[in-house]
Structures are given as C-alpha cells and as structure tokens.
Amino acid sequence: MSNGVTNQQQVHVIPKEKQNAFVTTAAKKIAEMQQLGQINLPSNYSVENALQAAFFTLTAVDFKNKTPIIEQVTPDSVAFALQDMAIQGLSVAKKQGYFINYGGKLQFQRSYHGTQAVIKRLIGIKDIWANVIWKGEEFEVEYNERGQLAFKLHKANWKAATGKKEDIEGAYCIVEHEVGRQFLTVMTMDEILTSWSQSSNKSVQDKYPQEMAKRTVINRASKAFLFTSDDSEILLDAINRTTENEFEPQVKDMGDVQEVQEEIAQNANTEELDITQVKEPLTHKQEPEIIAEYEQQELLNEDGPSF
C-alpha cells in the first residue's frame, strides 16, 4: 500500500481532508490521548496506518454484502469502535480484530491474535499461548504448592488433530510471567460450546473449531488478567470493553446505571463506625520511649496484685 510509505514520514501531520471524517476524528482523539499520557502505544504502531486499514475494511463491498458495513451502523459507534482498536494498538490488517455490526452498532472484536498481542504488552507478561486437546491425547493438570491449577503434561498425538469439532475434548491457555510463573486456564469442550452458543459466529466455529476453541480459552484466560489489572489506564478499559463484547448478542444496555444509584441509596452511610477508645487522648507530644513506659505501667497495673 502506498499509504504506508507516506504515513511513515508524516507522523504529526493531520490526515488529508478527503479521507473519511471518522478516521480523522479518531486519529486526532488518539493523538490527544497520547499527548496527555493517557495511553501508551507500542513504538512500532502507526495509528494512521491502522485506521486507514480499518477504513478500507469498513468500506469494502463484496459480492455477498452489497452495502459496506460502515453504511449499516451509526456514526457514533464507528468512532467508538475505531477508538477501541487504536487504543489497544491493534490493526485489522494484522488480523488482530474484526469489526462486527451488532444491531446497527459497530463493535471492534479482538481476535485471539489481538488478545495475545495486548496481553504481552502488559508489564511482566512474557508469553501467552493456547493448545487444543484432541480425543485420545493424554492431558494432566495438578495443583501446585500455591494451590493454583498448574500444567503437568500434554502428550500430543498429531494424528488425533482431525480438525473436527467432535474430536476436540477441550483447550487450555498458559500465561507466562517474566519470572517464569505460569497461569493455566483449562476449558472442557462443553464449556467452550456453552460460550459458543451465545455467539453469532456459528459458521466460523464449524469451519475452524480448533482456532475458535483456542480463541475462546485465550479470552477466558485474559479476562482474569485484564479485569484485575490497574484501572488507571484507558488501554485497559478498551481491552475490557472488547473482552466484554465477546459473544454479546447486542451492545450492553447501560440502563443499570440506575441499579448503581439504587445500591448506593440503600447501603451508603448506614452503619456507625468508630475507634474503640483504649486510652485517654494525650494532649502533648509523646516520645516513643515514654509511650513504651506508659504501656508498661498499664500492664503492671493490670497484672499486679490488687490491694
């Protein structure tokens, strides 16, 4: 793409006017966030290139879909979806995610390649990978000394990998920390199927069950990580949001804001709480030594013989 070359030289230049307004706005927003230090994009990530690639995907017309996806969804949702992608430093060109139309609202859905890329960028995480367990393969787990589920053994049989959904027994994902600690997530095929039953990707799941099973278990493993991470970064919000998007039939209804308000109204400021007074408040400055003596005195008084 010739755009790639031009864009590399003009990092600070605002994209040309004739390019789609959404792309311009999203790029501007991302640049602003970067300047404010709200997000930290990988050094090799070009926002403009990623947005450009996204724009091509969104406007693409093929034989099946006569209208491009961008015309089927609300402009607002396009802006959000583009932001979600860019904040996470992902690109549809690298198959790190897809744009999906959920009831007229565009959402960015991370692929498992995307999740792997994002997780690896979290501080302290060295690698993340997943494998499928085929029927007839030996797979063992155990609880380690910390009481966490840990990987023990997976004897793979390459002939067992038939590529058929019925032959998959489950899948697991390992997240490895820099210090070598590993976190294991295992899902049985039943669990995977339950997760798939929520989705609208049926045809893809039937066609590539192996890849989709990996994706599901990676997403499950990542959720545990991402939700417990720091909330200070907008990056994580975007990540959490696209993780939430996973298999959501439609955009989450935000109506439960009222629920939060009710919860607060019901529970806030109800119970009395105070410090139990152990000593008379002292009015002058106490040196640590004196306090120690004071305490000893008290002890003596309590334990000594009573007259």
* 35 touches other proteins (CB under 8 A): no
- The answer to whether residue 143 forms part of the interface with other proteins (CB under 8 A) is no
CB atoms under 10 Å from CB of 100, counted, come to 17
282 contacts other proteins (rule: CB under 8 A): yes
Sole binder of other proteins in the list 145, 159, 180, 268 (CB under 8 A): 268
Residue recorded with tokens 């792309």: 23
Identity of the residue, 272 or 302, whose beta carbon is nearer to other proteins in the bound complex: 272
Return all residues near 120 (Cβ < 8 A) that are at least 6 apart.
126, 127, 128
Distance separating alpha carbons of residues 157 and 136, to the nearest angstrom: 8
C-beta of 143: minimal distance to other proteins in Å?
17
The residue to which tokens 């155990």 are assigned:
142
> If binding means CB under 8 A, how many residues of this protein chain bind other proteins?
44
Residues 144-183 that bind other proteins (CB under 8 A): none
Tell which one of 15, 23, 47, 80 touches other proteins (CB under 8 A): 80
Least distance from other proteins to the Cβ atom of residue 291, Å: 7
Contacting residue, 2, 43, 203, 283, with other proteins by CB under 8 A? 283
The token duo for 106 is: 């565009």
Long-range contacts of 183-189 (CB under 8 A, 24+ apart): 183/148, 183/221, 183/224, 183/225, 184/141, 184/148, 184/149, 184/150, 184/151, 185/217, 185/220, 185/221, 185/224, 186/141, 186/149, 186/217, 187/213, 187/216, 187/217, 187/220, 189/213
Q: Kindly state the helix (H) or strand (E) to which residue 183 belongs, with its residue range.
A: strand 182-188
Q: Is 305 in the site for other proteins (CB under 8 A)?
A: no
Give the interface segment with other proteins, choosing from 1-9, 59-67, 148-156, 271-279 (CB under 8 A): 271-279
Q: Which residues bind other proteins (CB under 8 A)?
A: 36-38, 76, 79-80, 83-84, 227-228, 230-232, 237, 240-241, 244, 252, 254, 256-257, 260-261, 263-264, 267-276, 278-279, 281-283, 285-286, 288, 291
